[in-house]
Amino acid sequence: MRILSGIQPSGSLHIGNYFAMMKRMIEYQKNHELFCFIVNYHALTSVFDAKRLRGNTINAACDFLSLGIDPEKSVFWVQSDVPEVTELTWILSNVVNVGLLERAHSYKDKLARGMVPNHGLFSYPVLMAADILLYGSEKIPVGKDQKQHVEMTRDIAIRFNNTYGDTFVIPEAEIPEDVAVIPGIDGQKMSKSYDNTIQIFCSETELKEKILSIKTDSTPVMAPKDPDKCILFALYSLFIDNEQRSKLRDRYLTPGLKYSDIKKELIGVIWEYFAPFRKKRENLIKEIDVVKEILMEGSEKARNIAGEYLSKARHNVGLDYSI
Ligand code: ADP
Ligand code: TRP
């Protein structure tokens, strides 16, 4: 099975990204064909500072590699190193109704938050469809916020195939319920754009500040608490197995639990969980040239596959006039 997903280098990667997408991708590389990339063309819609975009891109690559992406077992690259995707975006644009793009939740949400409605932001889902279709991807591991984008990709692929003949694989999103929406420290969806993240590789002081700032309700210590309404419980649950989660739930339901104790424990759990990866990352950033080399090699592998699908699309729409 061919699995593909991408992440925007629009800021530092966070535990929402990790559990919803990165960790699952890293597991998939053992038994599947994995395509994993850093979508810097997409990040152009929100990052307007070249130095920051370059820095975020390399940082995201270091994060992925230290967390376990293995370039021997996967195809790992930066989106803009395979510029074929922009050509496919244009080809696909002609089977996309404007109405479909106007209905995109993500676009509407970004406008509501004050972003300028430029054309890149509007056609973001077409570039994402090109990303997915260019590699014949079958399964797309993402969080719930990307569900509609993958559905749009399906619509676009079906419409293209109906118009021009069988060209693209119809992909499917994969969104496990337990990591579909991971809350940020303010209770909204954790996102690089909302300033509510816990970064995977933050300092211990930052981690403490973030967890201690999480608001809890005013239930008295000697009353039972509702774990399902508590951000701390949702975050803690990501790091423990089912048995430990049901013990934690019991602690919430038993009078006497102090939120301050849970916060202290959670800081320790998160810090320890990422400790081995932090070590790997410290070594990796001393070898940035190796990281760049890995990305270059990845883009060559990606380009081979991209070339096949792009040629087929060019042929099926009639761009290869000289045959
Ligand atoms: P962000 O919203 O932080 O900019 P991205 O858009 O780069 O994150 O998302 C990368 C991947 O991580 C996507 O698959 C997205 O659905 C997933 N993801 C990001 N934040 C969350 C979250 N809070 N809960 C679940 N999935 C998330
Ligand atoms: N739009 C996705 C996000 O913001 C990132 C993305 C771009 C992507 N291209 C993709 C995800 C292809 C999966 C497949 O999270």
Closest atom, ligand 2, to C-alpha of 39: 7
The whole-model pTM stands at: 0.96
d(CA 312, CA 310): 5
For ligand 2, say whether the CB of 142 is within 6 Å of any of its atoms: yes
Question: Residue range 105-117: average pLDDT?
Answer: 92
Structural tokens at position 124: 């973001």
CA of 20 to the centre of ligand 1 (A): 7
User: How confident is the model at residue 272, as a pLDDT?
Assistant: 98
Say if residue 212's pLDDT is above 90.
yes
What does the domain layout of the chain look like in residue ranges?
2-181+288-317, 202-273
On whether the CB atoms of residues 117 and 111 are closer than 8 A, the answer is yes
Q: What pLDDT was estimated at residue 104?
A: 96
| Mean pLDDT taken over the chain | 97
CATH value of 2-181+288-317 in 3.40.50.2000, 3.40.50.620, 1.20.1300.10, 3.90.1640.30: 3.40.50.620
The residue whose CB lies within 8 Å of the most ligand 1 atoms, and thus the one to mutate among 8, 13, 21, is 21
3-state secondary structure at position 239? coil
Alpha helix (H) residue ranges in the chain = 15-17, 23-28, 40-43, 50-67, 84-93, 98-102, 105-112, 119-133, 147-164, 204-212, 231-238, 242-253, 259-273, 275-284, 288-317
Burial of 177 from C-beta contacts in 10 A (0-12 / 13-18 / 19+): exposed
pLDDT for residue 172: 98
pLDDT of residue 322: 87
Which of 209, 265, 208 is closest to 239 using CA atoms? 265
Q: Please say whether the structural domain 202-273 has been given the CATH code 1.10.240.10.
A: yes
The verdict on the CB of residue 11 being under 6 Å from ligand 2 is: no
* Predicted pLDDT of residue 70: 97
Among candidate residues 8, 35, 78, 73, the one with its CA nearest the CA of residue 293 = 78
Helix (H) or strand (E) holding 100: helix 98-102
Residue 116, pLDDT score: 87
The lowest-confidence range among 46-50, 142-146, 190-194 is 190-194
Confidence (pLDDT) at 312: 98
The ligand placed nearest to the CA atom of residue 39 is 2
Please tell me the predicted confidence (pLDDT) of residue 240: 97
What is the spatial distance between Cα 162 and Cα 185, in angstroms, rounded to a whole number? Answer: 45
Our answer on whether the CB atom of 305 is closer than 6 Å to any ligand 1 atom is no
Measured over the CA atoms of residue 183, residue 186, residue 189 and residue 190, the dihedral's sign is negative
Ligand 1, atom 16: closest residue by C-alpha:
143
* Gap from CA of 207 to ligand 2 centroid (Å): 27
**pLDDT value for 323:** 83
- The per-residue pLDDT for 7 is 97
Condensed to tens digits (0 to 9), the pLDDT of residues 231-255 reads: 999 999 999 999 999 999 999 999 9
Q: Is the pLDDT of residue 193 over 90?
A: no
